[in-house]
Amino acid sequence: MGVENILFIVALAVGIGLFARQVRRIARNVRLGRDEDRSDRKAERWGVMARVALGQGKMVVRPVAGIMHILIYVGFVLINLEVLEIIIDGIFGTHRVLSFLGGFYDLMIAVFEWLALGVVVACVVFLARRLVIRIPRFKGREMTSWPKRDAVYILLIELVLMGALLKMNAVDQLLQERGAEHFVKAGSFPVSSWLTPFFAGMDTGTLLVLERVYWWAHILGILAFLNYLPISKHFHIILAFPNTWYSKLEPRTQVRNMPRITEEVKLMMDPSADPYATPAEGDGAPPERFGARDVQDLSWKSLLDAYTCTECGRCTSECPANLTGKLLSPRKIMMDTRDRLEEVGRNIDANNGTFQDDGKALLGDYISEEELWACTTCNACTQACPVNIDPVAIIMDMRRNLVMEESRPRPALTTMLTNVENNGAPWQFAQSDRMKWTEE
Amino acid sequence: MTTRVPTMSELTASGETPEVLFWVGCAGSFDDRARKITKAFVKLMHHAGVKFAVLGTEESCTGDPARRAGNEFLFQMQALQNIQVLNGYGVRRIVTACPHCFNTIRNEYPELGGSYEVLHHSQFLNTLLREGRLKVEGGSFRGKRITFHDPCYLGRGNGEYEAPRELLSKLDAELVEMKRSRAQGLCCGAGGAQMFKEAEPGDREVNIARSEEALGTAPAVIAAGCPFCNTMMTDGVKHFEKEGEVAVKDLAELIAEAADL
Ligand code: SF4
Ligand code: SF4
């Protein structure tokens, strides 16, 4: 085993090890949320995941972006098979170890090359949509400098990776033709052969070095990209799968129940209940606060949603509140939740594993009341989201906190709530007048 | 003119059970515009010989606006009281002209102990038509342009896009779709307790945006399937001073008119 193989194994171990650490950090953060059982109806869940994540079923609602995205997605998934070969070659110092597959191998490499070209085209189109055409969906209050740069970086990294792959193949091909040592004849190179003229004039020694450079650039690029994912919206390429598996399966407009309140209301309504009995408090822990003031009060699924968000803005572009100039943007709700969760996570890391109050909260410091009260719960956002994120769950949880903990609904809502409480209707009509319409 | 509507307590007293309970809802009971929808629907049921009843003064708000305004206590008090009444009468099947009541009773009551078969009136009317208990011949709407505004709580919320359209197809009218319809339909702006508050600051009102889109199809009628959408769209049409040319009507009203009731 040569030095190069050892270097490769070290690089691979470090790259994967660092990535695993980041994944553990994110998993820990997601678990800061409240429990919610989302493990029922498993067969249905696999179906949703297959349709929405694997099959990209909701992407094609917008055909241009959808088809381009599928190209990049399929390209990446399949080209990863070649990465597998690169890893084996790297460890054992082999050259194109899968080439024993013969004609099938040639076909495989040819398909990968066409896909790589497709990825390049799609990335260029996507960059143009963001930087030249400036599609409105990619703008907005929450699309500050970092999210915008993040999107561009991802596309550029993909271009660099595809470039390295194609150039590596171009040089490899020349070396094969020249019968260089180790370079067994394998693969067919329909796209990279266009690049060979650039390298044809170089001597074999230079090509051997270049081949190694591109090979290393490709694999190191992939390892670096892997470690970029967890700090980027690009992490959705992984989280889209669990996130869709744990999708809300109930009808969109069904609001999650609060069983603890059911208990209390039942006690209140029960004439035989002892009015002075203090409700059992479990292990003496302070009762959970109603609704959500900070990220720890949200369901873990809302937190997973936040990490999964692709910042695509499909939700916001269909949100009636946002379309009519209100402050609310469901994408911002998700990004705020993630940013606050990251902040809470860093706080925990800095304080030996326990959260120290930093005087901040998701409600107020990130998301304002004005945003929360602008929502019509129309669920255009959940319908539009390509990875089944539910911003309305967060909005509802925070409204609950505003009303039940802070007693701060919008003034007109106080009137409505009083009416419902006193006369069983949102307006000031007596319940005894409910049949009046039959008399007119 | 009085409308004869039996209540659950009357029927129970005489030992009868209705085939369906009509949940009138707060808008349907108290809102001037929505009461017309209630009456149109009642006429249709009478005409089709449906044996139905209402809860009358025993009905109370489902709690939908309270829950969406964040007051879960109040929602559950309303819900549990209503469930007590409904279960007390052994109600099995409920029909309502309000998608918010529909959503709450259908989806949110079961977890609190109230499980019923719940129908939106468009679904129920379709059944009556299919069973031949109700007959509609295009009537005054033949050839007119009608556009349907999907209520969020019926369409996206509960996946029912077809029943209203199937009903409208009975009118022999020209059904035109807005640019955003079905799953992509734009909200009227009333949901999530917005109906009962001032809109948050913005460039314009949601109902103006939606009405503009509806008017863009040059309709004679904007059909609605929700009393709140109805109010929002009616206001929007007025905003554009089109109330002379364009009517906003509920599905039940359209069918009742076409059936000459
Ligand atoms: S549910 Fe609320 S946040 Fe989502 S699209 Fe509708 S108004 Fe916007
Ligand atoms: S919530 Fe969904 S639709 Fe909205 S930006 Fe994130 S991924 Fe896109």
ipTM score: 0.97
Q: How far apart are the CA of A394 and the centre of ligand 1, in A?
A: 11
Q: Is the shortest distance between the CB of A18 and ligand 1 below 6 Å?
A: no
Cβ contact A379–B152 (<8 Å): yes
Q: Are residues B123 and B142 in the same domain?
A: no
Per-residue model confidence as pLDDT tens for chain A (440 residues): 688 889 999 999 999 999 999 999 999 999 999 999 999 999 999 999 999 999 999 999 999 999 999 999 999 888 888 888 888 988 888 888 998 998 999 999 999 999 999 999 999 999 999 999 999 999 999 999 999 999 999 999 999 999 988 999 999 999 999 988 888 888 889 999 999 999 999 999 999 999 889 889 888 999 999 999 999 999 999 999 999 999 999 999 999 999 999 999 999 888 777 666 655 555 556 678 999 999 999 999 999 999 999 999 999 999 999 999 999 999 999 999 999 999 999 999 999 999 999 999 999 999 999 999 999 999 999 999 999 999 999 999 999 999 999 999 999 999 999 999 999 999 999 999 999 999 98
Residue B51 lies in a domain: yes
Q: Are residues B111 and B212 in the same domain?
A: no
Residue at a domain's end among B93, B127, B161: B127
Residue B224 lies in a domain: yes
Residue B3 lies in a domain: no
Instruction: Take residue B128 and report the two structure tokens written for it.
Output: 């009556």
CA distance B156 to B141: 28
Residues 179-218 of chain A with CB under 8 A from chain B are none
Q: Which residues of A touch B7 (CB under 8 A)?
A: 435
Q: Are residues B142 and B253 in the same domain?
A: yes
Q: What is the pLDDT of residue A215?
A: 87
pTM to 2 decimal places: 0.96
Q: Are residues B122 and B140 in the same domain?
A: no
Residue B173 lies in a domain: yes
Phi, psi of B249 (to 5 degrees): -135, 145
- Of all residues in chain B, the percent with pLDDT exceeding 90 is 95
Residues with pLDDT less than 50, chain B: none
Q: Are residues B146 and B102 in the same domain?
A: no
Q: What is the pLDDT of residue A253?
A: 98
Q: In what order do the strands lie in the sheet with B117-120?
A: B52-53, B20-23, B93-96, B117-120
User: What number of other Cβ atoms are within 10 A of residue A167's Cβ?
Assistant: 21
Q: Is the shortest distance between the CB of A313 and ligand 1 below 6 Å?
A: no
Strand partners, A255: none
Choose which CATH entry (1.20.1070, 1.10.238, 1.10.1060, 1.10.3470) describes domain A259-268+290-431: 1.10.1060
Q: How far apart are the CA of A306 and the centre of ligand 2, in A?
A: 9
Residue type for B185, please? G
Residue B146 lies in a domain: yes
CA distance B20 to B118: 10
Ligand number, closest to the Cα atom of A385: 2
Q: Are residues B192 and B107 in the same domain?
A: no
CATH number, domain at B84? 3.40.50.1860
Q: Are residues B141 and B119 in the same domain?
A: no
Q: Is the shortest distance between the CB of A309 and ligand 2 below 6 Å?
A: yes
CATH number, domain at B215? 3.40.50
Q: Cα–Cα distances in Å, from A323 out to A185, B194, B205?
A: 58, 16, 10
Q: How far apart are the CA of A168 and the centre of ligand 1, in A?
A: 48
Judge contact between B259 and B136, C-beta under 8 A.
Answer: yes
Judge contact between B206 and B188, C-beta under 8 A.
Answer: yes
Residues of the domain holding B141: 136-258
Residue type for A386, please? P
Residue at a domain's end among B90, B109, B127: B127
Residue B203 lies in a domain: yes
User: CB burial class (10 A; 0-12, 13-18, 19+) of residue A367?
Assistant: buried
CA distance B25 to B37: 11
Structural domain total, chain B? 2
CA distance A88 to B174: 65
Ligand number, closest to the Cα atom of A138: 2
Cβ contact B71–A404 (<8 Å): yes
